[in-house]
Amino acid sequence: MEENKVKKFDAIIIGAGPAGALCAVALARNGKKVLLLDKGGAFADNLCAHFVRQTYDCSLHEPCCRRHSCLSGLGGAALHFEANFDNYPYADAEQKERIADFKFSPFLEAALGDATEAYIMKFYDYMFAAGLQKPAAEPAVCGKGCVGAAPSGTIPVRLEDIKKIAAKLERDLAQYGVCLLGSRTVTDIDKNGDFVVSCVQKTGEETEKFYAKTVAVATGYRSIPTVAKFIRKFGLQHSFPAETELGFRVETSAEIADKLLGGACNPRIKSACGKHRTFCICSGGRIMKYPFAWGSDDFVLDGQHAYSCRGNKTNFSLLSKVKVPAGENSYEFAAEFVHEANTLEKGAVPAQKLADYLSGSKSAQADIDGLSLTLSGCVAADLRPLAEKYGIAIEWFIELVKSVIPHPDYFYNNTVLLAPSAVKYAPRLELKKAESSCPGLYFIGDAGGVVSGISAAGATGLMAADSIIEKYL
Ligand SMILES: Cc1cc2nc3c(=O)[nH]c(=O)nc-3n(C[C@H](O)[C@H](O)[C@H](O)COP(=O)(O)OP(=O)(O)OC[C@H]3O[C@@H](n4cnc5c(N)ncnc54)[C@H](O)[C@@H]3O)c2cc1C
């Protein structure tokens, strides 16, 4: 190994999404020597080109992000298109009035404990300092008719704000002297006194090695195989959830969704029994297809929000909690569901009009094409057998629709179910202030399998930075 390839740091952060980037800034601001590695590139290179074009030229109908490069690099999966920032618990910009009924999710509280609100607000302080528009005096709460709905403290974030946040991150990383290396895929971590992090450049074959007293893994949700490797190698304490959440993505007209939302943005809507819910429901956007895990051929569906360019569609997931069968873990089980959905129509995205799902018949391809979905290449399929096999139920949602929309046939005929959507299947690491059972090895953001979402990722990154400074540096 050449001498100039050997570099020693106080902390190495793997992954430059909201968790990793904020952790790196917080450490470097305190004078620590930090290396931030990411397999992707700079923010500007990864900004979702299709989204930008769609935003500034609404006549373009090419919304499918084929390369998925926008899920990687500085900003991670979060900061390359418009987004919802959740967990803002205040009803006013001055942070005086708490939103009535607001509760952080139990997962976020498990991760951050008594300091949940303090770290969430640290995250927001950073975002407001970057130029994020503070929320309106009275944030929208769910409209009438929603079953078990609660406010999620959502702030809709437009592309202009996303760009300001990315610019501040880039500025701070440079100003505080973080060594940011893009196009570096971390392949391994060893511990030999210090941690040794090995990575490869996309273009080259040679392995680079970097050394540090502490490492924070911030590689996001799609990195489960990488995280699993570190779990095995360091014998990390973890568990798999006994239930996972599986379901469908739904695309419908923004006009009908407005009736459901009653002016709210992303309320937490649950069935009365608590087993089923909507995931990320707001008034605009498009569907996006991306890999189930980095390196996997299987795809899952998620949605981008759109506020600058609202369009005429919206999308969200309908998810059901499903018990993992004995002898399997949640990741394997979710992978089976995803693979079955992927192979239903030979690798195409299977789609079914809600009206046909309800009557138990496969949609006509002409009907699917006629609805001009935001995702191209969807193929008519019958999703009901898949739903029945895996215990996915949407009847509760139909009841909700009926209570809000007087003549729901129009809704049934203009709404499409697409597969697959899956969440909460990752291994959950046992973490104390983001530190794993291997001293000095931290897992932050989605990679730890405990929290998900942008604000939660940022908050855990900030908490890890404090813990690293307190315990090791
Ligand atoms: C389409 C889509 C829309 C979303 N919309 C929202 C939303 O509106 N609101 C919200 O709160 N959440 C949203 N989410 C979820 C949100 O993006 C994530 O919860 C959040 O980005 C997690 O942050 P993170 O830092 O943990 O990981 P990520 O943002 O996933 O970042 C992980 C980083 O690690 C890098 N990486 C992975 N493996 C390696 C490796 N081996 N070596 C080096 N680098 C590696 C990746 O390139 C990536 O940059 C959305 C997700 C998707 C996919």
How does residue 62 score in pLDDT terms, banded at 50, 70 and 90?
very low
Q: Does residue 387 have a pLDDT over 50? A: yes
Q: Say how far apart CA 48 and CA 250 lie, in whole Å.
A: 22
Confidence (pLDDT) at 57: 54
Residue 64 Cα to chain centre, angstroms: 18
Q: Does residue 448 have a pLDDT over 50? A: yes
148 CA distance to ligand 1 middle (Å): 28
How does residue 75 score in pLDDT terms, banded at 50, 70 and 90?
very high
How does residue 4 score in pLDDT terms, banded at 50, 70 and 90?
very low
Q: Say how far apart CA 349 and CA 418 lie, in whole Å.
A: 7
Strand stretches in 361-434, DSSP E: 378-380, 416-423, 428-429
Q: For ligand 1, atom 50, name the residue with the nearest CA.
A: 78
Burial class of residue 127, CB neighbours in 10 A (0-12, 13-18, 19+): buried
How does residue 101 score in pLDDT terms, banded at 50, 70 and 90?
confident
Q: Say how far apart CA 247 and CA 245 lie, in whole Å.
A: 7
Q: Does residue 60 have a pLDDT over 80? A: no
179 CA distance to ligand 1 middle (Å): 20
Q: Say how far apart CA 172 and CA 97 lie, in whole Å.
A: 31
Output phi, psi for 291, to 5 deg: -65, 145
Domains of the chain: 3-142+150-239+428-472 (3.50.50.60), 243-423 (no CATH)
Q: For ligand 1, atom 44, name the residue with the nearest CA.
A: 38
Confidence (pLDDT) at 334: 98
- Strand partners of residue 37: 14, 181
For residues 262 and 301, which has the higher predicted lDDT (pLDDT)?
Answer: 301
Q: Say how far apart CA 451 and CA 89 lie, in whole Å.
A: 17
Helical ranges in 247-394 per DSSP H: 254-261, 330-344, 354-359, 365-370, 384-390
19 CA distance to ligand 1 middle (Å): 9
Residue 97 Cα to chain centre, angstroms: 28
Q: Which atom of ligand 1 is nearest to the CA of 74?
A: 49
For residues 284 and 17, which has the higher predicted lDDT (pLDDT)?
Answer: 17
Q: Does residue 3 have a pLDDT over 60? A: no
- Strand partners of residue 149: 269
Q: Say how far apart CA 238 and CA 231 lie, in whole Å.
A: 8
Highest mean predicted confidence (pLDDT) among 94-98, 242-246, 397-401: 242-246
Work out the angle at residue 388's Cα, subtended by the Cα atoms of residues 383 and 391, and round it to the nearest 5 degrees.
115
Q: CA dihedral defined by 31, 35, 38, 41, rounded to 10 degrees?
A: 70
List, for residues 405-446, the tens digit of each pLDDT value. Answer: 888 999 999 999 999 999 999 999 999 999 999 999 999 999
Q: Does residue 59 have a pLDDT over 60? A: no
Confidence (pLDDT) at 1: 46
Pull the structure tokens for residue 301. Answer: 């569906």
pLDDT (average), residues 183-200? 95
List, for residues 19-38, the tens digit of each pLDDT value. Answer: 999 999 999 999 999 999 99
DSSP-assigned letters across all residues of 179-209: EEE-SEEEEEEEEESEEEEEEEESS--PEEE
Pair 344, 334: CB distance under 8 Å: no
Choice from 38, 183, 429 to test ligand 1 binding pocket (greatest atom count within 8 A of CB): 38
Q: Say how far apart CA 352 and CA 417 lie, in whole Å.
A: 5
81 CA distance to ligand 1 middle (Å): 12
Residues with CB under 6 A from ligand 1: 14-20, 37-40, 71-73, 76-78, 83-84, 86, 184-186, 218-221, 223, 226, 288, 290, 294, 302, 304-305, 445-447, 452-454, 457
75 CA distance to ligand 1 middle (Å): 8
Choice from 35, 71, 170, 224 to test ligand 1 binding pocket (greatest atom count within 8 A of CB): 71
Mean confidence (pLDDT) of the chain: 90
List, for residues 141-154, the tens digit of each pLDDT value. Answer: 454 445 667 778 88
Q: Does residue 338 have a pLDDT over 70? A: yes
> In which element (H, E) is residue 276 found?
strand 276-279
